[in-house]
A and B are shown apart, each in its own frame.
Chain A
Amino acid sequence: MDTKLFTERSIWTMLHGIVLGGGALLGLSAALFAVGTMHGPDSVDATAQRQGRNVGWLTAFVAVALWLTVLVGTYVSFPPYRATPPEGLTDLARYPRSLLQSNPGTVWLHSFAMEIKEHVPWIAAMLATAVAFVGVRYHSRLLNDASLRRMAMMLLTICFVLVSFVSLLGVFINKVAPLE
């Protein structure tokens, strides 16, 4: 019997949610820790310069991972999710949106959860890009300038909350109506 462990659609879903989204969340955690703890007196020594460069590249990694998550989600995973089933089809397993909408108990997973997932991650990606730009352009000044560091921490925190929330919603949706 030829049984596929994973379909192509489920592999894309895992790439979207676990590899890219999970990688972005890990990177965000590390960036929050780094920006929050690596500040000190305004210093231009080699260690401070290296730390600044590393934090810059870490924030750039977060931004790239988030953009890839968003683009794969919107242009690869979302189209099969929203595909319309043929007239009269009763087994909606391959049509997640229709499957969710067919049960009053799961309608919210489309009307609330997926609606949020369509737009909010793009906002998170914009915020992460702003911090990455500042990290890469200003290096150690991101860590040593109090106002830049405060704003970067604020944006990274908002970003982390938004990405965690939409990730959780994604888990709920995938639990009930996975892309198989």
Chain B
Amino acid sequence: MATTENDRDVTNGAALAAFLAAGIGAFAMGLVVILNEVGLFAVPALYAPAGGVSGRTTLAAVIWLVGWAVLHHRWKRRRVEPRRVHAVTLALILLGVLLTFPPVWGLL
């Protein structure tokens, strides 16, 4: 069943899927960076002149897009309670940004 304009008037699932996926992408970026910094998982470079950053950022972007696709598919016709999604999204973004900060790497 296709989503109509009226469906969009009452559902918010697609919007919340996009927001939460952005949080997942941010956290994925932080996680990939910190795993690389502590030597647990080094993503190979996809473009040698740019080095490892090309692999790390591409992997995080793929996780973001896959997460978004899955959430969008599940939520696009639903009305989702926004408060918890907002809180989780902001927490994931905060964690993701923190994990990309070099001073944090030294704490681990």
Q: Are chains A and B native binding partners rather than an unrelated pairing? A: yes
- Contacting B at CB under 8 A, from A157-174, are 158, 162
- Contacting A at CB under 8 A, from B5-26, are 8-9, 12, 14-15, 18-19, 21-22, 25-26
Q: Mark A91-128, 1 if CB is under 8 A from B, else 0.
A: 00000000000000000000110011011101100110
| A119 with B89: CB separation less than 8 A | no
* Nearest CB of chain B from residue A174's CB, rounded to whole Å: 18
| B22 with A129: CB separation less than 8 A | yes
Looking at the complex, which of A2-10, A13-21, A134-142 is the stretch in contact with chain B?
A134-142
Looking at the complex, which of A22-30, A32-40, A73-81 is the stretch in contact with chain B?
A73-81
Q: Is B49 an interface residue (CB 8 A)?
A: yes
* Range class of the A interface residue count: 20 to 34
The CA of A82 and the CA of B56, in the complex, are separated in Å by 16
Chain B residues lying within 8 Å of A82, measured Cβ to Cβ, are 49-51
| With A79-B49, A119-B57, A151-B82 as contacts: A137 and B97 at CB distance below 8 Å | no
Q: Is A148 an interface residue (CB 8 A)?
A: yes
* Range class of the B interface residue count: 35 or more
Main secondary structure of the interface of B (DSSP, over half): helix
Q: Is B86 an interface residue (CB 8 A)?
A: yes
| With A75-B54, A78-B50, A138-B15 as contacts: A123 and B102 at CB distance below 8 Å | no
Could you say which of B21, B33, B96 contacts A130, with CB atoms under 8 Å apart?
Answer: B21
| With A111-B102, A123-B100 as contacts: A74 and B54 at CB distance below 8 Å | yes
Chain A residues lying within 8 Å of B47, measured Cβ to Cβ, are 75, 79
Chain B residues lying within 8 Å of A127, measured Cβ to Cβ, are 22, 26, 93
Q: Is A147 an interface residue (CB 8 A)?
A: yes
Chain A residues lying within 8 Å of B103, measured Cβ to Cβ, are 112
The CA of A158 and the CA of B57, in the complex, are separated in Å by 19
Could you say which of A75, A133, A141, A154 contacts B9, with CB atoms under 8 Å apart?
Answer: A141
| A137 with B14: CB separation less than 8 A | yes
Could you say which of A122, A133, A154 contacts B60, with CB atoms under 8 Å apart?
Answer: A122
Chain B residues lying within 8 Å of A78, measured Cβ to Cβ, are 50-51, 53
Closest 6 CB pairs of A and B: A79-B49, A130-B22, A126-B25, A130-B18, A147-B82, A119-B100
Interface residues in chain A, defined as those with a beta carbon under 8 Å from any beta carbon in chain B: 70, 74-75, 78-79, 82-83, 111-112, 115-116, 118-120, 122-123, 126-127, 129-130, 133-134, 137-138, 141, 145, 147-148, 150-151, 154-155, 158, 162
28 contacts between A and B (CB under 8 A): A74-B53, A75-B47, A79-B49, A119-B29, A119-B33, A119-B53, A119-B100, A120-B100, A122-B61, A123-B25, A123-B93, A123-B96, A123-B97, A126-B21, A126-B22, A126-B61, A130-B21, A134-B18, A134-B19, A138-B15, A145-B12, A147-B83, A148-B12, A148-B82, A151-B19, A155-B19, A158-B93, A158-B97
